[in-house]
Amino acid sequence: MKFTIGLAIIAFVALALAGCVQQSSSPTPTQVQITATATATPAPTALPTTTPTIQPTGQATSTPSPSATQGAVKEFTMTAKQWSFEPSEIRVSKGDIVKLKIKSVDVEHGFKLPDFGVDANLQPGQEVTVEFTADKAGTFTFSCNVFCGSGHSEMEGTLIVEG
């Protein structure tokens, strides 16, 4: 309540100083018409430093923070089929921007790399581009996260980030 009253007083003073105070056509010493409008705008919120998204074109991306040291762009073409990824092992260096072009050649599959926030749906015959920054060293497992048949549970691969 105090905030609203304070905001109205500030708006009135600002409008009065700017010459926006309107008077009726024949004012008397006790009759003045005042019009004031105040609009509050919410403060912006901080964005996360990495934002994984699936683009409408089918591309999954993870935007690196501006402060991150950018490495080379490493691009790979990958095939998903019952019940494997080819290649099943990918090696990059810490700081590299990894770009995977993945295509399912038989049924619907998924591609999930949880350590980097990547999750993409792979429709048969359509290529999906997944992009992220390899910002931590180690060995990470990627897998199919859409049930694709009896061998689904073995459909996985390895990302090795050397650092």
Distance CA 74, CA 2 (A): 57
Distance CA 84, CA 157 (A): 8
pLDDT of 69-120, one tens digit each? 568 999 999 999 999 999 999 999 999 999 999 999 999 999 999 999 999 9
pLDDT of 113-140, one tens digit each? 999 999 999 999 999 999 999 999 999 9
Indicate if the pLDDT at residue 152 is higher than 60. Answer: yes
Question: What residues contact 26, with CB distance under 8 A and at least 6 apart?
Answer: none
Question: What residues contact 135, with CB distance under 8 A and at least 6 apart?
Answer: 50, 64, 68, 94, 95, 116
Nearest to 130 by CA among 140, 143, 121, 138: 121
Indicate if the pLDDT at residue 46 is higher than 50. Answer: no
C-alpha distances (whole Å) from 50 to each of 46, 71, 88, 117, 133 are 12, 16, 26, 9, 9
Q: What's the mean pLDDT when you consider all of the chain?
A: 74
What ranges in the chain are assigned the alpha helix state H? 2-17
Query: Domains of the chain: which residue ranges?
Result: 1-40, 51-162
Indicate if the pLDDT at residue 61 is higher than 70. Answer: no
Q: Is the pTM of this model over 0.75?
A: no
Q: What CATH architecture applies to the domain 51-162?
A: Sandwich (2.60)
Distance CA 42, CA 122 (A): 39
The pLDDT of residue 154 is: 95
